[in-house]
Amino acid sequence: MKTTTFRRVLTSALTVAVLAFEFAACNKEKPTTAIITVHDADGDPVDSAYVKLYANPAVPRAELSRLLKEGMTNGAGRVEFDYTGLFEQGQAGFAVMDILTFKDSSYAEGVIKILEEETNEETLVMQPIPPQ
């Protein structure tokens, strides 16, 4: 009789452990990415354009260099930045970032709102740098 009670307790404990593991596995963090696409004035993709994402709040409240990302566009005019792991799950919103891109004598600026656990995309159109 004691063996049966022990088995029931052991079975229940194992069931709880398995369910706890399953629920924890369901809460996996999804990728948080920002994809920037750069085109010229004719709508053609710009290869090898420098792209910088950075935070520029009116009132800085924390160290923002961890959000700074830089890269070069590929042949399709795209560059991807990965922000996975830079936010706490459950936090409301992640970041609004300024975008700066340039190549030769053309540039573009913009803003992208990065939502956690989503692929966030923005397209910029380069314009000639105005003469001084």
Ranges of the chain with pLDDT below 50: none
Q: pLDDT tens digits for 86-102?
A: 766 555 567 889 999 99
Judge if pTM exceeds 0.85.
no
Q: pLDDT tens digits for 32-52?
A: 999 999 999 999 999 999 999
DSSP for 46-103, please give it: -TT-EEEEE---SS--S--GGG-EEEE--TTSEEEEE-TTSS-TT-S--EEEEEEEEE
Structural domains present in the chain: 33-128 (2.60.40.1120)
